């Protein structure tokens, strides 16, 4: 081995060591975006299955509200929310993300508005559970709708 090949080998290892110490800037500028990025990444990996679950849950809840609770107004609202979740899941599955997350955000807000006040006052298990699901779904869907419209927060990179 010649002296030149030894020098070039040591240079490449020094360059590799320097390159491993380079820090890439975080694409999420503030703490809010850094906090929301894992939720956005998780949502992207799981979708449209949470929307299908919410559609099925509110569909069954509609039947329960009509037959057991004898509340046809709540049953109609739950059925409309179930249809909106199903349509949102369909749009997300067909890569129409902006419209799908926007429709799902509106469905989540509708579920929260329909069940939230009654859950707060009466503490009925049906309304409490659906208000809780609506609140969680509102947070996730609103975040994803915001991300689709603005490009922020950026999703986390996968290290495979």
pLDDT at 37: 81
CB of 103 closer than 8 Å to CB of 84: yes
Angle at 29 between CA 31 and CA 139, to 5 degrees: 50
* Domain assignments of the chain as residue spans, ordered by start: 40-150
Q: Which residue has the tokens 């956005």?
A: 40
pLDDT tens-digit readout, 22-74: 665 666 677 877 778 888 888 888 888 999 999 999 999 999 999 998 999 99
Q: Calculate the alpha carbon distances from 79 to 84, 101, 107 in Å.
A: 9, 19, 11
Residue 119 has pLDDT above 80, yes or no: yes
Given a cut of 50, whether residue 160 has pLDDT beyond it is no
Question: Which residues, at least 6 apart from 60, have a Cβ–Cβ distance to it below 8 Å?
Answer: none
pLDDT value at position 123? 87
């Amino acid at each position: 081995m010649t002296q030149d090949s030894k020098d070039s080998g040591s240079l490449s290892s020094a360059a590799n060591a320097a390159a491993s110490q380079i820090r890439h800037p975080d694409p999420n500028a503030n703490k809010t975006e850094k906090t929301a990025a894992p939720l956005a990444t998780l949502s992207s990996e799981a979708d449209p299955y949470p929307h299908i679950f919410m559609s099925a849950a509110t569909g069954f809840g509609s039947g329960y509200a009509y037959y057991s609770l004898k509340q046809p107004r709540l049953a109609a609202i739950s059925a409309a929310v179930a249809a909106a979740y199903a349509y949102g899941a369909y749009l997300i599955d067909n890569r129409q993300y902006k419209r799908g997350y926007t429709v799902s955000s509106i469905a989540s807000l509708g579920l929260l508005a329909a069940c939230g006040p009654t859950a707060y006052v009466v503490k009925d298990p049906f309304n409490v559970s659906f208000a809780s699901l609506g609140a969680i779904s509102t947070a996730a869907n609103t975040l994803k709708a915001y991300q689709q419209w603005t490009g922020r927060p950026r999703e986390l990179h996968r290290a495979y």
